[in-house]
A and B are shown apart, each in its own frame.
Chain A
């Protein structure tokens, strides 16, 4: 499709529980990016993929965060043992391989950890 589809739209988890977020990129887009938008609008880069390969994971808190992009499946971002500070909106974006094009963003998943 022509949109980046993120599910679920809202997710509530108790502290310590697992959270899993999904992203279906636009068909034909080779790059997928995950960003976390926290209070005060700040976008924090988490991880990017080129097809199913991790491209840049410098933003990932590795001890609890993991992500995958497998062929023929939505990409996923998983947070083990969620903490209160993980509460944020998580955005996925995809872009084409060729040229320095901007991303297309999904509508985000709002994660609330209580």
Chain B
């Protein structure tokens, strides 16, 4: 069975500082990994995904994520956070052996303070 863990319920960071949101996963086949962001009272917006190839994936709004197979992690990063990055972030995984089903982590709330 596939699973995702986001160990931090909330991350607080000052504007301009680097932002990291952690994600670890478990699959039996090859992992396909996704990050989504949810702004208040909105649906989920796709940020980026890792399928294969380079371990560093670049996505929307200046975000990037690093795939680490040995640590089974896919942490989301942004070099310089903005107040507008304050939102709820979800990591999700698909197991190559499990079809289209997407499993989500519990979410991490990011608060960027001015």
The answer on A and B forming one complex is no
